[in-house]
Amino acid sequence: MIKDLKGEAYETLIWKNENGFDLQPFYTAEDLKTNYTPAFSHSSWEIGVTAKTGNAKQINAQLLRDLAGGASSITLICRELDLEMALHEVQLRYIHAVFYVNDKNYQALTAYLQKHYNLDELNCCILPEELKTNAQLSEWIHKTAVYGKYKTIKTNAADILNFHNLDCFAYYEVAIALSALNEHLNYLAQNNIKTEAAFVIKTGVNTDYFVQIAKLRAIRRLWNILKTEYGIVNELYVLVETSLTNKSISDSYNNLLRTTLEAMAAVSGGCNELTINGFDAFFEVNGSLSARMAINQQLILKEESYLDKMADTACGSYYIEHLTDSLAQTALNEFKRFEKEGGYFSCIEKNIFTTDIAGQARQHQAAIDAKAQTVIGVNKFRNEKEKIPLSAQNMADLKKLPINNPVLNFELDNFFTKHA
């Protein structure tokens, strides 16, 4: 090894990872802490699509087209929707579905499902649009208790995708997920409410490939700790979307490479369902192509790459097991800090999450601005001949997005201002 280093110090090869621990240049069997068992046992996953905004007829056409094209799960925001029209000819008994509801349309969805189906033949998630206080959690759990006896209707969820898309570190994301799940489990235990359904986590994945695999595995590892603590056997259903924190407008077809890498990380990390955001998510170039490619990418991973044939392929990997352990431990320490602050909802009220994540996002922004982190087609190898007709209104709309994308920020600050 000394010969291979060619005079360089071994310490120079140690990566100071942003998640609070060092990564060595290589690992061996001696680095494994235990004989690991697979973090999950399923090998396949649902191919998800999300209904875009529009009227019920347009949404129905999109859902039917996507399902015919290979999707196996739909996500529908029920706000102000005519469900009879939006779900016309959509056979929910044969697919998975995710419904987001609020106080105004929860009963309408329940009535629709009871009218058209036996509830025990459905496989779906019914999730609240917003859950930011203990009072909202209490109301939601009591409201959805009617679904408690159905093992395949999931209503308890930690939706942390918005935190992911604010550009937080991986360990911090895991800690928030653990904190949110703990609020649900604690309330259910205190009120002696039983449910057989799986609990849900919705999150994102970015292109930090191995870290993202380890992140999803760490979530499951920590879920097992919570299960033991509360004496439950419920499974965990992990909904994953590709990240909105690293996609560009410039050379937008590069986003296809980014989302493919993210999709592979999500699958290797054990997602139960994956939705790929279109390569032109921020500035639509070809909506129909973008939507079709988002499904085809997953079909290729299944039908041609065979990623659906084996569960937890990372199990036993010296490097990834070390990453998983390190992320889980760092996240657990952060979770304990959240608990000292009063838990998940208290941290939201005190703006602890948003304040911490803002600092993390600034580190990512600084790396891209200084070109210490390369983004092909943006801060390196830019296509100077590309002309993107971005208007002043487009600029204003992009700057108002409820996300933090340092790549997009770099573009808006450097490329488009003079053309807007």
Cα dihedral angle (137, 353, 411, 371), rounded to 10 degrees?
A: -140
- DSSP letter for 276, please: P
pLDDT at 387: 86
35 by Cβ neighbours in 10 Å (0-12 / 13-18 / 19+) ranks as exposed
184: tokens are: 């649900």
Give the pTM. Answer: 0.95
Report the C-alpha gap between 190 and 223 in whole angstroms. Answer: 19
- Beta strand 96-101 pairing with 22-23: unpaired
Q: For residue 284, is it within any domain?
A: yes
- DSSP letter for 27, please: -
Q: For residue 38, is it within any domain?
A: no
pLDDT at 34: 85
Q: For residue 352, is it within any domain?
A: no
pLDDT at 420: 47
170 in Cβ contact with 222 (< 8 Å): no
Q: For residue 181, is it within any domain?
A: yes
- List 46's β-bridge partners, or say none: 273
Q: For residue 389, is it within any domain?
A: no
DSSP string, 144-206: GGGGTT-TTEE--EEE-HHHHTTT--HHHHHHHHHHHHHHHHHHHHHTT----SPEEEEEEE-
pLDDT at 320: 96
Q: For residue 341, is it within any domain?
A: no
Mapping DSSP to helix (H, G, I), strand (E, B) and coil, where does residue 351 land?
coil
- List 142's β-bridge partners, or say none: none
Closest C-alpha among 316, 317, 308, 322 to residue 270: 308
Report the C-alpha gap between 269 and 251 in whole angstroms. Answer: 28
Identify the CATH number of the domain in which residue 318 sits: 3.20.20.240
From the CB of residue 361, how many other CB atoms can be counted at a distance below 10 Å? 20
20: tokens are: 């609070």
The count of structural domains within the chain is 1
pLDDT at 1: 57
pLDDT at 306: 97
Q: For residue 400, is it within any domain?
A: no
pLDDT at 14: 84
Residues of the chain predicted below pLDDT 70:
1-5, 7, 417-420
276: tokens are: 């790929």
Chain-centre distance of CA 140, in angstroms? 22
Residue 309: which domain range? 46-325
pLDDT at 418: 55
Q: For residue 379, is it within any domain?
A: no
